[in-house]
Structure 1
Amino acid sequence: MKVLLLGGTGEARSLAQALSGAGVDVVSSLAGRTTDARLPVGAVRQGGFGGVDGLTDWLRDNAVGAVVDATHPFAATMTEHAAAAAHQLDLPLLVLRRPGWTAAEGDVWHWVDSPDAAARLLPDIGSRAFLTIGRQGIHAFAGAGVWMLARCVDPPEPMPTWCELILDRGPYDVPGELTVLREHEIDVLVTKDSGGPQTSAKLVAARQLGVAVIVIRRPPLPAGVQVVETTTEVLAWVEAHVD
């Protein structure tokens, strides 16, 4: 049985390697939005499917027997499409989501539901902001009225003229994040609740310097989907579902 692995994350790359090593016929699918993306081992397809109908057709045409969604926690559309397509074809679907971040002693966090809400709150929290939400949603901050530094892997389109831009890819470390916050006199950090260690150093740096943090909550998952937090749980699930 073939497994479709919806990827683009570090967990997905690790999972592709583990599944391939276990002899599972797995195809990793990447959205193709990031240039010079880190490719997993094994078969890879890149680009969109064309909505729920396109994904349903692809799953049927390629004789896929199970779907594992290991996309980014904020890739809500892909997860919704996967749930709908799997339901139509009566295919088993499992969602792998790394745990979200939790505040620690000394953190000053403000939770919001969207980039728009973060942009509205921003002027009340600080005057020099560091945006670390990637390029999706960054233009919601264009009219926030505070000085901003934004960090993305790839340049946003259109290129923002209202902020300074850093193009960089994690993982990041605490000394480096402390340097960024100090050199730019940042007093508020804006982030998504991505979870995981690859980009969590900024939260430690913010805590050490007393910098406030605006955290954008994860979008809700489709009703009824099965969710796990580790690749070990995925491997056990695949073993139970793949003949």
Structure 2
Amino acid sequence: MTEGHVLILGGTTEARSLAELLCGQSALRVTTSLAGRTAAPRGGTPGAIRSGGFGGADGLAAWLREHRVAAVVDATHPFAAAISAHAADAAARRGVPLLALRRPGWTAAPGDRWHRTDSLAEAADLLPRLGARAFLSTGRQDLAAFAAVDLFCLIRCVEPPAAPLPARRHVLLARGPFTLDAERALLREHRIDVLVTKDSGGEATAAKLTAARERSLPVVVVRRPPPPPGVPLATTVAQAASWLAPLTRPANA
């Protein structure tokens, strides 16, 4: 092999940072795959970009073979369970090493009133016992779970969400990162008394948790799914790059 070809399943800040790091190494060829769910994703990702799904595990396995991929890094969103399962299946079939890159989840701080659930459906069932005006910060793909909730819902997402949606709602289109002052103002303006979020981790959207803590608001935190069994896990870009190094080194290095 004259060069290593790394496929990054992307869509996160970590995926973009890893592509930047790897593209600085001339021996590597880097392709970042984006799901294509956002019409205007953030730009600036170096290397080759492909958009759209692979057609499940079968399509991904065929792509790995056709493009002679030496290693795959699953750096998708921590809640993208379907693509992670497809990646594990396809990589195992082709004998291609696979790493999951996941930023650490959030940790409760003193004063937090967190209620952890294992699903969005559980979160929706819990909401009426916690408040009357909810801030749903779960992304536009998962709002159907809250369609029958009979309370006011502030919905923030990057693009307009599709039905079904809560009947009493206000949709705010915005892209993070969000400042603490902005989150404070948002909770105050909409008289929010309960927050719902996935445990996505990272700093870009963490300010809402601080703002909720300051107001002593209950926060429903949906636990993230684990990576597929047997897939090694990295929590930083540096760890992922270290794992890749021996797998992508040219034979004549």
TM-score of the alignment, normalized to the shorter chain, above 0.5: yes
User: Which portions of structure 1, spanning 4 or more consecutive aligned residues, are displaced by more than 6 angstroms?
Assistant: none
Hey, what does 1:87 align to over in structure 2?
A: 92
**2-structure distance, mates of 1:85, 1:161:** 37
| Correspondence 1:7 to 2:10 | yes
Hey, what does 2:115 align to over in structure 1?
A: 110
Deviation track 1:193-243 (CA, whole Å, cap 9, x = no partner) reads: 000000000000000111110001101221111001011111111111112
Return the letter of the residue paired with 1:14: S
**2-structure distance, mates of 1:160, 1:121:** 17
Percent identity for Structure 1 against Structure 2:
54
Correspondence 1:1-243 to 2 at 5 A: 1-23=4-26, 24-39=28-43, 40-158=45-163, 160=165, 162=167, 163-243=169-249
Q: Which runs of 5+ in 2 are unaligned?
A: none
How much does 1:164 deviate?
A: 0.7
**2-structure distance, mates of 1:32, 1:67:** 19
Secondary structure, in 3 states, of the residue corresponding to 2:126? helix
**2-structure distance, mates of 1:26, 1:84:** 21
Secondary structure, in 3 states, of the residue corresponding to 1:190? strand
**When the two structures are superposed, what TM-score results if normalisation uses the length of structure 1?**
0.98
How much does 1:159 deviate?
A: 6.8
Deviation track 1:144-184 (CA, whole Å, cap 9, x = no partner) reads: 11111110111111373621100000000110000000111
Secondary structure, in 3 states, of the residue corresponding to 1:64? coil
Q: What count of residue pairs does the alignment treat as equivalent?
A: 243
**Contact 2:117 / 2:123 at 8 angstroms: preserved in 1?**
yes
**2-structure distance, mates of 1:73, 1:22:** 27
How much does 1:131 deviate?
A: 0.2
Return the letter of the residue paired with 2:137: T
Return the letter of the residue paired with 2:227: L
**2-structure distance, mates of 1:53, 1:159:** 31
More displaced stretch, 148-157 vs 196-205: 148-157
**2-structure distance, mates of 1:174, 1:126:** 22
**Contact 2:153 / 2:166 at 8 angstroms: preserved in 1?**
no
Secondary structure, in 3 states, of the residue corresponding to 1:22? coil
**2-structure distance, mates of 1:138, 1:159:** 7
Deviation track 1:48-106 (CA, whole Å, cap 9, x = no partner) reads: 00000000000001111110111100011111110111101111111100000010000
More displaced stretch, 4-13 vs 138-147: 138-147
**Contact 2:100 / 2:227 at 8 angstroms: preserved in 1?**
no
Q: Which runs of 5+ in 1 are unaligned?
A: none
How much does 1:137 deviate?
A: 1.2
**2-structure distance, mates of 1:119, 1:161:** 11
Return the letter of the residue paired with 2:5: K
Return the letter of the residue paired with 1:35: A
